[in-house]
A and B are shown apart, each in its own frame.
Chain A
Amino acid sequence: MSAVKTAEQINQRTAEHESDNKTVFGFWVYLMTDCVLFACLFATYAVLHTNTVGGPDGSELFSMPAVLAETLILLTSSFTCGLAMLAAHRAQKTQALFWLGVTAALGLVFLALELVEFRHLVAEGNSWRRSGFLSSFFTLVGTHGLHITFGLIWMFVMMIRVVRAGLTRSALRRLTLLSMFWHFLDIIWIFIFTIVYLMGELQV
């Protein structure tokens, strides 16, 4: 009797696992379409980045140490997000919350550095209205920053949920999606770092 029950439970769990897999796959498809969105913005930037109409180009505007700091902070947050997922899968609530907190804090620092950079550019008269180069720059980097903002909001909501309801099945599934989103944003940033900042510094 108990063996039958266990078999039933396992069947149910397999079914649940399959539906979770479908959710993860659906989210993966969304991330891929988001990649296409970023590709369009990268293409726009690639076409427009020389159109400075006598204004400054990237190498005159970007502060490379700040950009390196932003990159390393985002990379570390992607890693701590992975650690949070590992802890969540081991059902270690406190550890998962700790690493999620670290991830969110690093994300906030990244966003703050980016906003400081934007404010500095605008204050010196180099806003998106200055040239085609700056329009495409603000659109591309700003869209990434907006994704980070939404990711942070999602992370805080998930932290509150985990604190109140624990690491339930649905919480675990949503955390999986959130971590995919966060890793994805880190991957987009590699290309922003290389194409916008490093190649900008080289005046390609």
Chain B
Amino acid sequence: MNRRPVISQHNADGGNLQLYVTGFVLSISLTIAAYLMVVNHTLSKWQLVYAIAVLAFIQFLVQLIFFLHLGREMKPRWKLGVFLSMVLIVLIVVIGSLWIMDSLNYRMMSPDMINDYLTKQDGGI
């Protein structure tokens, strides 16, 4: 086999068949598991929400590692650095939006709603 060095080097960071098959099988299993859990209502509502969030996060990592080959680059790891900055920005945007809007809803409550809210909190005025 007289492969050109460029191509074999490309292959090294382009992954191999085993990586893709592993990633594919794991992703399919995680997707079907999350789907069946929700459709059959195997747990209570909030347990299910946390369970499928965890499954989605695992699948996110699986696809990053097995399909996009994150973490397989040489030092300095620029790709990983940009990826982590992106994660930070995404967390600020998503958590920040939910926090601000929740706080806004709280502050914009009508008197009736405040009463309801307090009733739920500590048994009413």
Contact = CB atoms under 8 A, between A and B. Distances in A.
A72 B20 contact: no
A78 B93 CA distance: 28
Interface string A20-45: 00000100110011011001101110
B38 A201 contact: yes
Contact of A79 (B24, B64, B90, B101): B24
Chain B facing A: main interface SS = helix
Chain A interface: which size bin? 35 or more
Given A83-B20, A187-B64, A46 B35 contact: no
B14 A39 contact: no
A47 B97 contact: yes
Interface residues of B, number: 50
A198 B38 contact: yes
B48 A202 contact: yes
Interface in B41-70: 45, 48-49, 52-53, 55-56, 59-60, 63-64, 67-68
Contacts, number: 133
Contacts of A198: 34-35, 38, 52
B11 interface: yes
B100 to A, nearest CB: 9
Majority-rule SS of A interface residues: helix
B52 A47 contact: no
B56 A190 contact: yes
Interface in A36-76: 36, 39-40, 42-44, 46-47, 64, 68, 71-72, 75-76
A100 interface: no
A4 B4 CA distance: 17
A35 B90 CA distance: 8
A141 interface: no
A138 to B, nearest CB: 19
Given A25-B78, A75-B24, 12 more contacts: A13-B6, A17-B6, A64-B38, A64-B39, A78-B27, A82-B24, A90-B11, A183-B63, A184-B68, A186-B63, A191-B56, A194-B55
7 contacts: A36-B89, A46-B98, A47-B97, A183-B63, A193-B34, A194-B53, A198-B34
